[in-house]
Structure 1
Amino acid sequence: MIGFALRTLRHRKAGFAGSFVALLFAAMLVCACGMLLETGLRGGVAPERYAGTPVIVAGDQFVRQTIQKSGGKSKTKAKPLAGHAWLPASLATSLGEVAGVTKVISEVTFPVYVGNGRASGHGWESAGLTPFTLRAGRAPAAADEVVVDARSGLSVGARLDAVTAAGARTYRVTGVTAQSLPSQDTLFFSTAEARRLAGRPGQVSAIGIFSRGEVSAVPANASAVLKTARAFAHTGDDRGAIEFPDAEQARVRLISLGGALGGTSLLVAVLVVVGTFALSIQQREREIALLRAVAATPRQVRRMLGGEALLVAAVAGSAGSVAGIGLGFWLRDRFVALGAMPEHLRLVVSPFPTLAALLATMLAAWAAARLSARRAARIRPVEALGEAALPGTRPSWGRMIAGLVCVGGGVALTIVLSALSVEAASSPVTLLTALVWTTAVALLGPVIARAAIALLGVPLRLSGVGGHLAAANLRTGSRRVASVITPLSLLVAMTGTILFVQTTMGHAAEREAAAGGRADYVLGPHLPGAAAQALRETPGVLAVTEVLRTSVRVGLEKYGAQAVTPEGLDRTVDLGVVAGSLRDLGQDGVAVSETAAARLGVAVGGRIHLALGDGTPVAPTVVAIYARGLGYGDLTLAHALVAPHVDDALGTLLVSAPTLPRAAIIAAVPGAAVLDQAQAADAAAPNAEVNYVAMGLIIAFTAIAVVNTLAMSTSDRARELALLRLVGTTRRQVLRMLRLETLMAVVVAVALGTGISLVTLSAFSSGMTGSAVPYVPPFTYLAVVAVAAILALAATAIPARLVLRQRPADAIGARQ
């Protein structure tokens, strides 16, 4: 039967075009997601600054936790820190005494804001770790001197205004390097000034080691010294991970994103491919009936259809896997542009994602064909032709039971989703819930279609010849209508869920931030403590709150946190305290949101053991529990506690000055931008554009499936449309009939998709925001509906016009 399948494909190219397109794009999605996942697992970063240093010693950049397992075994898990772990400066002396070490160079790294950009600041002594050499001028010696890199555009003698955590200062350029780094601007200060600006007395960010002999021997020789300081020696590309700590965090995000996106893509692909093959087999029921009538066994029919699916999938999967590599690079570029992935994190390209995509595509196609062929292959030969002539039979009991099981699964997932209050846990469950509900709709599609046709058929029959024909066609073609409704409802459900999850979270955070905002002015975005002090000394200013946004680890769990100055906090922020008091928030205190308190199982007076951004362990006492966690983070800590332990200690300022005009505030802090509450909330919110780009691919794939299915359905009706033309129906009436059929399918699909989306969103909103009412912008929702309707109408009208260009007699003859 495989040979017969090959001949069938050769003579029915148009009939398999829809399946080919669906499988092609499915392979592209799976391959691209596999590349992201593999990059997260195996991706590396080549060093830039440390390229000339054989060994770099750095602190432990992970929070580690040992978990005891059954049988006395234990397993250590690790999660990356939010910032960079520093080392004691004295470690350099100890490393210099290790056998084989010839030279040791320490360095400090800190952010410097120059104009509208950000540079990396260092002491000149660490230039020995880098490829930098002076092209002009000399090294900095005084506190007000600086060396700039080659792409700064400055020359010796120029003035440079720089802002660091230590404040704003003007420096004189004494030297220009001959080199520059691809992904970072570099400034070199004198050693003493760099230590002051870094704000880490007695600490260094890294230590470079030069040795004689084999580089690999250095870590072994220095193991005792490194273990005492909880430090690690890095060689090769591992040096890049120390130079670019954001790359490690991006890898973790890529693992999560690639896995979730790949899994969702595969589920959507299976659902779409099953629908496409089901429609293709429906269109061939007369052919299959003839095969059964001439003694083809059910097994032979299934083998033929499975062979066809494998052949189509092999070609489509191969082409899609190759195209998926290009899609993976496009995704990587978009994530880099959005700041979700550092430019220096290389995309891993290997055969594994392409092979996995090809294998997944072939398995999905084979399973889809076998499932879709079950009913057609089981028809008894005597009934085969009659069954093909009367396609409006009821769905099988197996399909009905599977549909009801999916309904039960959707109910269970909806209940689970409504109890999840962590976005990392709720996001994959949200998409899975929408998919399970859509699968239920697909399985129960014929029943839903018949009910919808019975309801909407009455007004259709009253709308002229086109409406009467549409109602009659819909009544006899409920299975075809069901195959069209499935991808349309999937499009509306997935688009609505993906879009409105973000708007629901964003609106809730903005609402809480606005409700808690008492400050008259918000200044930012990168201001030092000196600016806050200048404002406090300004007459008319009642309170100034410094705010830093960061994250901490409690165990291995990551929590969003803000650091604030406690003095005058009640004048600038209202966190909605429900227990305790923020007046007790000092360097040893922490305020916790209600959601985080429930997760951690703490109350006022309890202690939380957490790791700050650089891994420093602290155990503050819970002094308050507040309600507005979405707007202000899960944890609120003292600014004095957090600022020394983050990479960038420059933040925003909340100012209470009801009697002062904006001009007076700007005059007190020249160069600062005055933000309103909405801008401040947007700056603090997570980047939803990354999710839009990632999940937008699934939406695009679903949209292609909609066009594909409708085009297949319309093209297959050439004989039917030709007969209508022969009995006197005008071209205009035929087109009107098709438009009304499509609009009815759109109405049903929009209703189903909207219902699925609303049920899912309500459960998500209930768990994440405490309200079962999601935020759905009406114009955005109408745009989703409009896009679905336009796609459906275009996918129907264009094939129909091509079919109607043929003479009726030729069209009927071609279909014989």
Structure 2
Amino acid sequence: MLPAILGGWTVAIVAFGVVSTVSLTIQHREQELALLRSIAATPRQIRQNVVLETVIVALPAVVAGLLPGVALGAVVLGRLVDGGLVGASTRLSAGWLCVAVGAGTSLAAAVAAALISSRRAASIPPVRALGEASPSATRLLSRARAVGGLGLLAVGLSLAAGTLFMENGPLLSSTAGPAGVAVAVGLALLSPLAVTPVGWFAHARLGATARLAARNTRVRARHSAGVASPLILLVGIAAGTLYMQSTEDGAHRGPAVAGDVGAQLAPVNYLIVTMIIGFSAIVVVNTLVAATRRRRREFGLLRLSAATRGQVLAMVTVEAAVTAGIAVVLGTVAAAATTVPYSLVKTGSPIASGPAWMYLAIVGGAFLLVMLATVPTTVGALRTRPIDALSAA
């Protein structure tokens, strides 16, 4: 059961990351795709093109991940043996069937994510090829995204409410954990609505750089939400799972009891959340680097409009901080869907047990991750001469 849970979370995170990355790519290729539509390419052909491009990129990535995946499986098995959940005589078996299923599942997740994103690509009108792609020219939320986000929020809140009526036992986390994940994904889908109010600060008495960053974040709400989405998932899952486990630990303080399921599962839960954080961090970095690199033309235009490199870098830094702040707030709300009902049943208090530094570390790590992925990429993009950046776009 445990490998299925860990594998399921991994596939879900990978699929979510592919959707975010492909969606951002489509946003930056609107003119190109509209041009294909204007020369008689059908929506079906556009969808096929997006899916095939994703498969071409995903295939070598899946092959490259096979050997590290087997090595990671050995590490996980070792931790399970150390925790007493698996017999010491158990050995890792990496047969061709397991490898094929793992590779096939990963590729299927990428294809499914590409199919979801390709719907937007196929809906781009041909007339878009005649002008500049405008981030504000499209709807903030598609109907499917709004319905999906609200549906997942309803599922997550229902699971959180159901947790309140469960008995205090090992199965309590079976509803509390998924509740936070469902709310996190739902909030990520609806995040453009949370990004838009940032534009209100564009009229505040802030510096020119901060005003421009706030206006950019508002106008490019879909883009900013695409960057924030994997970060919401990271903060929500990390904070929810870690504080759920720390609450469990706090409720069972004292000498270890033989056969205590909670004590046995503790190291496994920490292992799971560590791996989820690692996979989520990779998705966040890839998304941020890809999104920043595609803004070279915008940076070049700002430089030609008399903006200095320092001003452009400051603008991007403020945008990154705002995006990270939005993700932290929404991720914290998602984590509360896990920790509040779990803590109420375990301790009678809505406040989860655990040190404050753990939450501060998650928040600080989220901001650090965003800055490390954004600032160096921006510095590299600014090394290109403005006129070259315009012609290379």
Name the TM-score class by shorter chain: over 0.9
- 1:267 has 2:12 as partner: yes
One-letter code aligned to 2:158 = A
One-letter code aligned to 1:316 = A
Q: 164, 177, 181: which one pairs with 1:435?
A: 181
Work out the CA distance in 2 between the residues paired with 1:728 and 1:421.
65
Work out the CA distance in 1 between the residues paired with 2:131 and 2:308.
31
Partner of 2:230: 487
The aligned runs of 1:642-721 (5 Å cut-off) are: 685-686=263-264, 688-721=266-299
Work out the CA distance in 2 between the residues paired with 1:496 and 1:322.
30
- 1:329 has 2:74 as partner: yes
Partner of 2:156: 410
> When you count strand as a share of all residues, which structure comes out higher?
1
Work out the CA distance in 2 between the residues paired with 1:793 and 1:550.
46
Change (3 A) 1:385 1:332: farther
Change (3 A) 1:277 1:420: farther
Partner of 1:307: 52
Structure 1 residue ranges without an equivalent (≥5): 1-255, 514-524, 526-547, 552-559, 561-632, 634-683
Check the 8 A contact 2:340/2:350 in 1, yes or no.
yes
Work out the CA distance in 2 between the residues paired with 1:798 and 1:423.
47
Change (3 A) 1:376 1:549: closer
Deviation readout 1:468-512 (Å, 9 max, x if unpaired): 2212211221111000111111111011012111111111223xx
Change (3 A) 1:782 1:456: farther
- 1:354 has 2:99 as partner: yes
Check the 8 A contact 2:135/2:220 in 1, yes or no.
no
Change (3 A) 1:454 1:728: closer
Work out the CA distance in 2 between the residues paired with 1:385 and 1:438.
38
Partner of 1:762: 340
Check the 8 A contact 2:251/2:346 in 1, yes or no.
no
Partner of 1:783: 361
Deviation at 1:800, TM superposition (A): 0.4
Aligned to 2:237, the other structure's residue is in SS state: helix
Check the 8 A contact 1:417/1:429 in 2, yes or no.
yes
Partner of 1:450: 196
Aligned pair count reads: 392
Deviation at 1:423, TM superposition (A): 4.6
Check the 8 A contact 2:176/2:337 in 1, yes or no.
no
Work out the CA distance in 1 between the residues paired with 2:115 and 2:172.
34
Percent identity, please.
Answer: 37
Work out the CA distance in 2 between the residues paired with 1:263 and 1:503.
23
Deviation at 1:773, TM superposition (A): 2.5
Deviation at 1:340, TM superposition (A): 4.4
Work out the CA distance in 2 between the residues paired with 1:726 and 1:387.
18
Change (3 A) 1:809 1:384: closer
Change (3 A) 1:377 1:705: same
Deviation at 1:550, TM superposition (A): 4.0
Work out the CA distance in 2 between the residues paired with 1:259 and 1:700.
18
Work out the CA distance in 1 between the residues paired with 2:81 and 2:168.
26
Work out the CA distance in 1 between the residues paired with 2:13 and 2:168.
24
Q: 465, 471, 476: which one pairs with 2:214?
A: 471
**Aligned-residue CA RMSD (Å):** 2.2
- Calculate the TM-score normalised by the size of structure 1: 0.46
Deviation at 1:299, TM superposition (A): 0.4
- Calculate the TM-score normalised by the size of structure 2: 0.93
One-letter code aligned to 1:425 = L
Check the 8 A contact 1:739/1:793 in 2, yes or no.
yes
> When you count helix as a share of all residues, which structure comes out higher?
2
The aligned runs of 1:198-277 (5 Å cut-off) are: 256-277=1-22
Deviation readout 1:315-357 (Å, 9 max, x if unpaired): 2122223321111112223444455444432112212222122
- 1:426 has 2:169 as partner: no
Deviation at 1:740, TM superposition (A): 0.5
Q: 310, 329, 332: which one pairs with 1:751?
A: 329
Range with bigger deviation, 258-267 or 698-707 = 258-267
Deviation readout 1:684-728 (Å, 9 max, x if unpaired): 944622321232111111011111111111111011011111111
Q: State the structure with bigger RCO (CA 8 A, min sep 6), 1 or 2.
A: 2
Deviation at 1:392, TM superposition (A): 4.7
Partner of 1:3: none
Check the 8 A contact 2:230/2:284 in 1, yes or no.
yes
Aligned to 2:40, the other structure's residue is in SS state: coil
Work out the CA distance in 2 between the residues paired with 1:769 and 1:384.
60
Deviation at 1:283, TM superposition (A): 1.8
Change (3 A) 1:810 1:330: same
Work out the CA distance in 2 between the residues paired with 1:805 and 1:423.
58
One-letter code aligned to 2:311 = Q
Deviation at 1:385, TM superposition (A): 4.5
Change (3 A) 1:494 1:458: farther
Q: 736, 739, 743: which one pairs with 2:317?
A: 739
Range with bigger deviation, 783-792 or 417-426 = 417-426
Work out the CA distance in 2 between the residues paired with 1:720 and 1:695.
38
Change (3 A) 1:388 1:292: farther
Change (3 A) 1:275 1:390: closer
Work out the CA distance in 2 between the residues paired with 1:438 and 1:386.
36
Structure 2 residue ranges without an equivalent (≥5): none
Work out the CA distance in 2 between the residues paired with 1:388 and 1:355.
41
Partner of 1:603: none
Deviation readout 1:602-626 (Å, 9 max, x if unpaired): xxxxxxxxxxxxxxxxxxxxxxxxx
Work out the CA distance in 1 between the residues paired with 2:391 and 2:129.
23
Deviation readout 1:757-800 (Å, 9 max, x if unpaired): 01221122223344332124211111110011001011100110
Aligned to 1:444, the other structure's residue is in SS state: helix
Check the 8 A contact 2:156/2:337 in 1, yes or no.
no
- 1:497 has 2:240 as partner: yes
Check the 8 A contact 1:420/1:768 in 2, yes or no.
no
Work out the CA distance in 2 between the residues paired with 1:478 and 1:506.
40
Work out the CA distance in 2 between the residues paired with 1:813 and 1:444.
35
